[in-house]
Amino acid sequence: MSFAPRDSHEAQVQFALERGVPAVIGVLGTIKVPYPSRAFDMAHCSRCLIPWGANDGKYLMEVDRVLRPGGYWILSGPPIHWKVNYKAWERPKEELQEEQRQIEEAAKMLCWEKKYEKGEIAIWQKRMDGDSCHSKQDKSQVTFCKSSDPDDVWYQKMEACVTPYPDTSSSELKNFPERLYAVPPRVSSGSVRGVSAEKYQEDSNEWKKHVKAYKRINRLLDSGRYRNIMDMNAGLGGFAAALQSPKLWVMNVVPSIAERSTLGVIYERGLIGIYHDWCEAFSTYPRSYDLIHANGLFSLYNNNCRCNLEDILLEMDRILRPEGAVIIRDEVDVLIKVKKIIGGMRWDTKMMDHEDGPLVPEKILVAVKQYWVAGGNSTSTQ
C-alpha cells in the first residue's frame, strides 16, 4: 500500500494508480493512519523528509503500531549517510547528525534492532517479542498506549505512546497464498466479535460462489481489463480472496460505521485495505478504478443522517473510469432506489437475480459507466 500527499511532486498517487499500483492520497500528520495495527510486514520511506525523531518519536510509534512483530522499517535518504551528503542536501552537519540521533533513540525505545546501514539506506527490525526488551528499559522513558483497541483509528489523534504487543503472534500466519483461506489469528483468538472459525470458512465459501457467478455475468472480470478494483464494504475480504489473480488487485474498504472492524483480518489474509466513511470523499483521484463492488453498502447507509444514497453514487461515479463496471449486491427494495438514481447518471444498468434463484430477496445490479458529454443526447465510446 503506497500513500503520498499531493505536494510539489504533483500527482504521485495518480501516476501509481495509472500503473496499476495500490495507492491513496495520505499524509503523516496529527491523525492516525487508516490502517489496523500489525498490518504490514515492512514499511518503507524514501526521501519522504518526515521528521521521524521529532515529537518524542510519535511518527515512528505510529509506524510501530502498523508493523507486525518481526517486521522491517527501511529509511532511505536524509539523514542517513549525512557525513557524505550534507553539502548536496544543503543542510548543516550538526542538524542532520541530531536528526539521526533522535531516530536511533526512538528506535531503541521501540525495541527495534538495527540490522543494516550502507550508503543512504538503513534497516531496522521490530522484535518478535517486546516484553523482554521493554522490561529492561527505564519505565519512565516508555509510555504504553492505554486504548483497548489499537485498530480504532478513524479520526483518532496520533499519540506519543507505544502500542503493546498482541496476545496472538504473527508467526501464526501462513505463507501467501495459503494465508488467503487459512483462519486468521484475529479470528482464531476470538478478537473479532461474532466471527468464529466456522463462520469465517462459511463466508469464504459463500464468496467463492458469488465470484463464480460474477464471472458468468461479466466475462472481462479476470481478463486483465480490470486492474484496479475496489470493494466498498469488504467484510472479511472474501470477495478479494475469491478473485485473487496476478492480473488485478483489490482495495478492500471497511466502512467506519460497519458493525465489525474486520480490516485486521483482511491484512492477515495477505490482502490490503483501508478504513473509510462513505459520507466523505475517498482519498483518490477521479477515474482511478476499473471496477467497483458494493455488497450491502447501500443498506448500511440507507437512512443515514449524514449523507444520501445519491452522495455515495456520485462518489462512485467520480472514482470510476469510463467504461468501468459496478457490481452492487443488496436487498431488492434498496436496489430499486439505487437503479433509479443511476438512470440519471446515464450508466447502463441491468438487475439480476441472486445466483440461488429469484426467490432470494437479495439481487445483483450490474452497471457500466458510459462516455458522455454534458448537454448531449448521445453517448460516445471513442
**How far out from the chain centre does Cα 64 lie?**
17
Per DSSP, the chain holds a count of helices (H) and strands (E) of: 12, 13
User: Is residue 87 very low, low, confident or very high in pLDDT (cuts 50, 70, 90)?
Assistant: confident
Closest among 159, 165, 137, 141 to 61, alpha carbons compared: 159
Place of cell 469488504: 234
Q: Lowest-confidence range among 90-104, 123-137, 149-163?
A: 123-137
User: Does position 103 have pLDDT exceeding 90, yes or no?
Assistant: yes
Span 176-201, pLDDT tens digits: 899 999 999 999 999 999 999 999 99
Span 228-272, pLDDT tens digits: 999 999 999 999 999 999 999 999 999 999 999 999 999 999 999
**CA–CA separation, 9 and 7 (whole Å):** 5
> Which one is predicted more confidently, 223 or 135?
223
User: Is residue 381 very low, low, confident or very high in pLDDT (cuts 50, 70, 90)?
Assistant: very low
Name the H helices within the chain: 12-18, 58-66, 82-89, 93-109, 131-136, 185-188, 197-217, 238-243, 263-268, 297-301, 309-319, 332-344
Q: Per residue in 339-376, is it b (16+ CB within 10 Å) or e — as a string?
A: bebbeebebebeeeebeeeeeeebbbbbbbbeebeeee
Closest among 194, 204, 158, 164 to 69, alpha carbons compared: 164
| Stretch (H or E) spanning 76 | strand 67-76
Give the residue-averaged pLDDT of 306-311: 94
**What is the set of domains in the chain, with CATH numbers?**
38-165 (no CATH), 178-368 (3.40.50.150)
